[in-house]
Amino acid sequence: MQSTNPYTTDVLDSYETPTDREVEQAIEAAADRFPEWADRSVQDRCRLVDRAGDLLGERLDEYASLMTREMGKPIEQARAEVEKCAWLCDYYAETAPEQLADEVVGTEADARTLVSYEPVGPVLAIMPWNFPFWQVFRFAVPNLAAGNVGLLKHASNVPGCARAIEDVLHDAGVPESAFQSLLVDSETAADLVGDDRIRGVTLTGSEGAGRAVAERAGSELKKSVLELGGSDPFVVLDDAPVEATAETAVTARTQNNGQSCIAAKRFIVHTDVYDEFVGAFHERLDALTVGDPREESVDVGPLAREDLVADLHDQVTATVDAGATLALGGEPMDREGAFYAPTLLTDVPRDASAATEETFGPAAAVFEVDDEAEALELANDTSFGLGASVWTGDLDRGERIAREFEAGLCFVNEYVQSDPRLPFGGVKNSGYGRELSRHGIREFVNRKSIWVQHGLGGDGGT
């Protein structure tokens, strides 16, 4: 398995893939480790999580540089990702004991009844390359804190990140068999889903991969959590502050080089502010600095692989062929590296590729609507349901619309983002289940009801 720098196209390193026997040994080691790890106090497990956060802070520049080399993330954003992982560790180190504490439920006067949150065993995580540290840490940290052990199948183009995550957790004191990275292919990962020793599986990735994992896990009556794609609407109402909204819109579309499931992708703009918004949006997109992601001044780096450039260009071309206006960009950049020019599409037909599919790169599709009702109808006219945002000068109006979005993450006057304190996940073809917060840490636990009767057989004993 090789990692390749998408900016220079140089091969960074090669990694040996494990043999079938080594994979078997890893699963067996995880299963053997689980009882001991689960038996530790949550406070002890959280102490190691807290130490992992400290190590992330100490190795900030090292890990940020690694991400930038392996998948092209601008260096400033890469540092922010490492810092966010450290925050996640701090959050669960502080809150997991309370989130996993027994929940006493009042039932009968002569009984003590409660819900206990107990770990289930080895959990397999199939993770993507676009946020190569964050996606893994938001799986690993709550599950390790809960008492589960983890097996990671990371994306094949970020093996260095997979190994680094192993290192930081092991250096923090997490036993090697409690968290293991397996540099295996997708076929091997599919086989792991069916292994009896794997008690749960979580996937962040494409809709197709999610369906395959859900089908296999379902056939084994095994819990799964799926965080899939998105085509998030960014709704600009007639009372929105246009200049400030356009400024944020650029970040919402181009963060991580546009390669984010929760990036704004469909910009739905009220006709009263449409021209002003499109003009401001165009100006700011055109002013972005595209180039070497190692440079502090760069806003947009290369896409993670050359094939992703081709896929995005096919979508943009198909959208223009369907009748959209190409206002900016619209083609791969004539330079070394997997670069695609920041692109603005207007007059986009509602059945065009950029309207119905997830676009994974710096390409924005803009739609004009006559009123609030049409904006909401178009926002929900998608098979996806991950995130959505609305921009308005009236917060009550914004909250009312947010409640009507068909999505898992709904924001008013803020672009969609993940936060350890709030549950993260979607509806419809964007998947099911939740990560983060108390909701996420309780996905892979046994919610066990315990009834302790005071007295036996009605004899009045205590």
Question: What are the DSSP calls for 408-436, one per residue?
Answer: SEEEESS-----TTS-B--SGGGEES-BS
Question: What are the DSSP calls for 153-172, one per residue?
Answer: E--TT-HHHHHHHHHHHHHT
Instruction: Give the C-alpha distances (Å, rounded to integers) separating 335 from 258, 286, 327, 329.
Output: 19, 18, 21, 14
Give catalytic status of residue 89 as yes or no. Answer: no
Q: In 191-279, at which residue ranges do the beta strands (DSSP E only) sit?
A: 200-204, 223-227, 232-236, 264-270
Which is catalytic among the residues 227, 368, 406, 443? 227
Give catalytic status of residue 227 as yes or no. Answer: yes
CA gap 205, 213 in Å, rounded: 10
Q: Which helix (H) or strand (E) holds 207?
A: helix 207-219
Instruction: Give the C-alpha distances (Å, rounded to integers) separating 83 from 57, 76, 128, 129.
Output: 7, 11, 19, 18
190 closest CA partner among 139, 124, 285, 99:
124
Residues 403/396, Cβ–Cβ less than 8 Å? no
170 closest CA partner among 318, 48, 83:
48
Which is catalytic among the residues 261, 357, 368, 406? 261
Residues 59/168, Cβ–Cβ less than 8 Å? yes
Question: Which contacts of 103-111 are long-range, i.e. CB under 8 A and separated by 24 or more positions?
Answer: 107/451, 110/453, 110/454, 110/455, 111/451, 111/452, 111/453, 111/454
As beta bridge partners, residue 35 has: none
Instruction: Give the C-alpha distances (Å, rounded to integers) separating 21 from 52, 161, 201, 398.
Output: 30, 24, 21, 56
Helix (H, G, I), strand (E, B) or coil at 260: coil
Distant-in-sequence, close-in-space partners of 384: CB < 8 Å, separation ≥ 6 = 228, 229, 230, 231, 232, 358, 426, 428, 429, 430
Write out the catalytic residue numbers.
227, 261
